[in-house]
Amino acid sequence: MKKLIYLDNAATTKTAPEVVEAMLPYFTEFYGNPSSVYEFSGHSKEAIAKSRETIAKALGAKPEEIYFTAGGSESDNWALKATAEAYADKGKHIITTKIEHHAILHTAEYLEKRGFEVTYLDVDESGVVKLEELKKAIRPDTILISVMYANNEIGTIQPIREIGQIAHEHGILFHTDAVQAFGQVPISVDDCHIDMLSSSGHKLNGPKGIGFLYIRKGVKIRSFVHGGAQERKRRAGTENVPGIVGYGAAVERAVNTMTERTAKEAEMRDYLIDRILKEVPYVRLNGHRTNRLPNNANFSFQFVEGESLLIMLDMKGICGSSGSACTSGSLDPSHVLMAIGLPHEIAHGSLRLTLNEEITREDIDYVVDSVKEIVQKLRDMSPLYEDFVKKQAK
Ligand SMILES: *Cc1c(COP(=O)(O)O)cnc(C)c1O
């Protein structure tokens, strides 16, 4: 097998070996249903409690404020739908942003069809929410503000503490989708006035299909899955015990390695960004130069089709992601790149590369050399580029 350079860690990450190891006994040995009464099921029960504690500690929360779900999408759905329902008597207005993940945006649209009003805030050219606009959007009937901690496409980190403060000054609940941020930046739910927070295991070297929603004590929120009494009667269904155990192990690992790991990633990210910006003409970096996730780089190459670039990188063993939402079968460029003001034709030539701590300088050199070669090849085939060069020559 040719060497694989995996630069799509915003899409998912490798499950860490120590995480897999922690999970295995809960498939084979301690498979008891945590809700059963016999001693054997106690192993499962204890393992869940331990994981919940580890996760709560990482956020400065209480264990009973952590509710396990089946992933980030479910947590986002739950946070919005259940708050909307529980607080509808107080008001029906929700504020979010134009750059949220579809798990938030499509849920917000669902609520709009059911009588709620949603304000989608603009962001500035680097993808940061404008606090003045947020303040102006607040109304007496606003019940919830939901702003993602860090963006999954361009990596921009939001002024979460300030947003939380504004929300609480107005007595409004504050939810944040921290799926990309948790494990990459230190988070304190109290410091940032966060009432609800979504996270997902597979984005931080944990298993897929497990997530949690942090719900601050006192927040009125309805049960999302009805059935048994699991998760304090708010999320029914037999617990994903191995998943929860792996999640705890992944969070522990993420917390313990954060400083060193993210410093390494940021160094390689900056090396990648510097080389691309210096050596490839007609390119721009999307997102903020410094205020971004340590592992995120996102570029737009003029006169290049992002999908073609991806396919040709794949032939060289490089996994990346493009800014156009072709996965959804639409040709529309990413809503995030639109929101930061990129014209369609520029947004279409976008490439997101998200690193992990295993990526070396040699890997980056190989990636940059490949990108340079492919971008030139694609431009040589582009009539738009030909016209552009002719005009330049005049
Ligand atoms: C991946 C992601 C999600 C969805 O998480 P899943 O566990 O895959 O459902 C939600 N929000 C953001 C910002 C993400 O990056």
pLDDT band at 331 (very low <50, low <70, confident <90, very high): low
User: What average pLDDT does the structure give for the chain?
Assistant: 96
- Please compute Rg for the chain using Cα positions: 22
The pLDDT of residue 393:
86
The pLDDT of residue 209:
98
Q: What Cα–Cα distance (Å) separates residue 360 from each residue in 190, 198, 267, 269? A: 36, 31, 10, 10
189 Cα: distance to centroid of ligand 1 (angstroms): 19
pLDDT band at 328 (very low <50, low <70, confident <90, very high): very low
Q: Of 25, 326, 358, 377, which one is the catalytic site residue? A: 326
- Among residues 81, 70, 29, 79, the alpha carbon closest in space to that of 230 is found at 70
The pLDDT of residue 300:
97
The pLDDT of residue 353:
98
**326 is known as an active-site residue:** yes
Asked if pLDDT for residue 323 goes beyond 90, the answer is: no
CA-CA distance, 160 to 215, in Å (whole number)?
A: 17
The pLDDT of residue 262:
98
Residue among 180, 212, 213, 240 to mutate when testing ligand 1 (max atoms within 8 A of CB): 180
Asked if pLDDT for residue 257 goes beyond 80, the answer is: yes
Q: Is 180 in the pocket of ligand 1 (CB under 6 A)?
A: yes
92 Cα: distance to centroid of ligand 1 (angstroms): 25
Contact 146, 177 (CB under 8 A): yes
Average pLDDT rounded to a whole number, residues 343-363: 96
The pLDDT of residue 283:
98
Asked if pLDDT for residue 270 goes beyond 60, the answer is: yes
pLDDT, tens only, 192-214: 999 999 999 999 999 999 999 99
Q: Which atom of ligand 1 is nearest to the CA of 150?
A: 13
CA angle at 15 for the pair 13 and 17, rounded to the nearest 5°: 140
pLDDT, tens only, 38-84: 999 999 999 999 999 999 999 999 999 999 999 999 999 999 999 99
Q: Is 101 in the pocket of ligand 1 (CB under 6 A)?
A: yes
120 Cα: distance to centroid of ligand 1 (angstroms): 19
Q: Is 71 in the pocket of ligand 1 (CB under 6 A)?
A: yes
Q: Which residue has the higher pLDDT, 392 or 315?
A: 315
Query: 101 — phi, psi (to 5°)?
Result: -65, 155
Q: What Cα–Cα distance (Å) separates residue 55 from each residue in 60, 65, 129, 249, 320? A: 9, 10, 28, 9, 30
* % of the chain residues with pLDDT over 90: 94
pLDDT band at 333 (very low <50, low <70, confident <90, very high): confident
Residue with tokens 């016209």: 387
Q: Which two three-digit tokens encode residue 149?
A: 């901690």
Average pLDDT rounded to a whole number, residues 257-268: 98
pLDDT, tens only, 365-379: 999 999 999 999 999
Contact 43, 241 (CB under 8 A): no
Asked if pLDDT for residue 325 goes beyond 60, the answer is: no
